[in-house]
A and B are shown apart, each in its own frame.
Chain A
């Protein structure tokens, strides 16, 4: 039972997750702060992550890619906002194109990680918030609204 609670706020587009680990905060922090360690858990199953740039200091840049079973690479970036070793980490996480350039029209997630000592080990609190609703809306162009708005635009053009 690692994940203690999950809360999703659809107005703020925020996921709050609390997990307990039976290990000291320094050990949990190693999983975040060592690129060779984070590679072992960041990517979804079947999509191992490889971290390239790894500057975990305020203003620092982190770049990585995840490799699909077919060998396709999905690139991402972090902008580190705040670091307090074994306590807190705040960073924005976004997508990059094949050349590693951040993609503007994909959502950026603002992440806050807190590690707290408990009797049994460490509690990790994660807060992940999609930056803005506009960015959210770009996440899926298949939605009814966009389709209809487009269709309505075409109708207007036909009727003009």
Chain B
């Protein structure tokens, strides 16, 4: 469909924090659950046999590694892997915009032909 440039490719520095972030079962589990983007830190804390503060620390490690972001929604902070989703949304909407701009151009061309024909017929 469309070729992607890879703004997600990362340098050596970031690989360390990435591997550190992923080298923990709880954090990998949090990352998996965050893909849905609808869990708050307190909801996540309910899922593990550890304190809210401990879960919050895990989320912070994932955040520093750029794997999740916290998104404010009302009074809650939702944890989501949103950077990838936002990038996909951007690509998809850019693609749709280009498609519709081309369509409007083509429609304009066809309507111009119409009015030329009408003028021709009136002459």
Contacts and interface: CB of A to CB of B under 8 A. Distances in A.
Contact of A143 (B31, B88, B100, B114): B88
B32 A152 contact: yes
Contact of A126 (B92, B94, B100): B100
Contacts of A148: 22, 31, 67
Q: Which of B93, B97, B114 has the most A CB atoms < 10 Å from its CB?
A: B93
A13 interface: yes
Which size class do A's interface residues fall under?
35 or more
Contact of A15 (B8, B87, B96): B96
B93 to A, nearest CB: 4
B15 interface: no
B85 A145 contact: yes
B73 to A, nearest CB: 11
Interface string A1-36: 011001010100101010101110001100100000
B85 A23 contact: no
25 contacts: A2-B107, A3-B101, A8-B94, A10-B89, A13-B89, A13-B93, A17-B100, A21-B108, A27-B114, A28-B107, A41-B103, A44-B99, A107-B92, A128-B96, A128-B100, A133-B85, A136-B89, A140-B92, A143-B87, A143-B88, A145-B84, A148-B67, A149-B35, A153-B32, A155-B22
